[in-house]
Amino acid sequence: MSLVNQLSLFIDVVQQGSFTKAAALHDMDNSTLSKQIKKLETELGVQLLNRSTRSFSLTPAGEEILEQAHQLVNTIGHVQTIADSYHAEPKGRIRITAPVHIGQQYLQPVISKFMKSYPDVEIVLLMDDKRSDIITDHFDVAFRLGRLDDSSLIAKKIADIRAVVLASHEFIEQYGEPSTPEELVSLPSVIYSNGTLTVDTLRFSESPDSKQFKNYKMKGNYKVNDVRTLLEGVKDGLGYAAIASSNLACSIEEMKLKPLLTNYAICNKGLAVYALYPHRKQTALVREFIAAVKEYIGEPPRWEQHVPNFETMYQIHK
């Protein structure tokens, strides 16, 4: 039995004025309770109670320790209450980091609803397409896009992502619509590059009926570190682009873009949005926020609605 539990028994014995009554409170017999009090005295190295056949009284040490024991047990109880509240109801402060488009398109709607539901919550959102160090920068949760690197962090998959290759009608009129990956990568492209990540390789099936994949290197004179700007370049006919479906903020029909090589499969293995956090034992705040984001994005993820019939595209044909 812990020292705190033994002190709690000691308090109950004094408050009840009887070993028998105190033992009944804890569903134990008198001898067991008496042994625990004696163990407490041994551990502390002082006698707490003067015992006689039918009664007991506090020693001077017992009186002083009783006062401190009350404070300690009350403090421990308060600490446990605080800890339990963080598992029962979201409250407190949460620091979140995410790529810009994930924060703008998918986290902000969740945050607006979440903060109205839980007014005691404070949220700090830092959006950056370059990956922050979760531990060093003291983030509670990070939303990451792509394939998950090996990490000591705990990861929860929010939704799968699929790549889509898009071009404007103007671009197709100028260059013709490619029918193979080789033809595609011979054409100008708009490439996403943020200094640490450059997306300039496509992994297509070798043929529409093949289960074997091959890397195809893109070529392009325009590299940009912002997805919205990249899509504007594609709309203006500067080149085709390969982007994650989660980057689409509206329908490709509205943007007047067309998907290319949809009869070929694209390798998307491991490509997803993940929530990463540093502690296996989550607070209620982190747990509920991640759950709210996952619910909002849905299954299939809401971004796939921006590509009509997307479920039939870029699949291995059986």
Domain count of the fold of the chain? 3
Amino acid 85: pLDDT = 64
Mean pLDDT of the chain: 90
Residue ending a domain, among 88, 119, 137, is: 88
Query: Is residue 312 assigned to a domain?
Result: no
* CA angle at 110 for the pair 125 and 165, rounded to the nearest 5°: 85
Residue ending a domain, among 88, 108, 136, is: 88
**50 and 19 in a common domain:** yes
Query: Is residue 190 assigned to a domain?
Result: yes
Residue 195 — φ and ψ, nearest 5°?
Answer: 100, -35
Query: Is residue 147 assigned to a domain?
Result: yes
**263 and 172 in a common domain:** yes
Structural domain harbouring 133: 92-161+271-305
| DSSP character at residue 165 | E
Query: Is residue 105 assigned to a domain?
Result: yes
Residue range 60-115, pLDDT digits in tens:
999 999 999 999 988 988 787 677 666 667 888 999 999 999 999 999 999 999 99
Give the domain CATH number at 116. Answer: 3.40.190.10
Give the domain CATH number at 56. Answer: 1.10.10.10
Residue range 23-44, pLDDT digits in tens:
988 888 989 999 999 999 999 9
Query: Is residue 59 assigned to a domain?
Result: yes
Amino acid 112: pLDDT = 98
State how far Cα 14 lies from the chain centre.
49
Calpha distance 257→123 (Å, rounded): 36
Query: Is residue 98 assigned to a domain?
Result: yes
| DSSP character at residue 294 | H
Per-residue pLDDT averaged across 240-260, rounded?
A: 93
**181 and 152 in a common domain:** no
When pLDDT is cut at 50, 70 and 90, the band that residue 295 belongs to is: very high
**261 and 170 in a common domain:** yes
Query: Is residue 315 assigned to a domain?
Result: no
Helix, strand, or coil here: 316? coil
Amino acid 195: pLDDT = 79
**70 and 207 in a common domain:** no
**168 and 146 in a common domain:** no
Amino acid 111: pLDDT = 98
**150 and 242 in a common domain:** no
pTM of the model: 0.70
When pLDDT is cut at 50, 70 and 90, the band that residue 192 belongs to is: very high
Q: Which residue has the tokens 């020292």?
A: 3
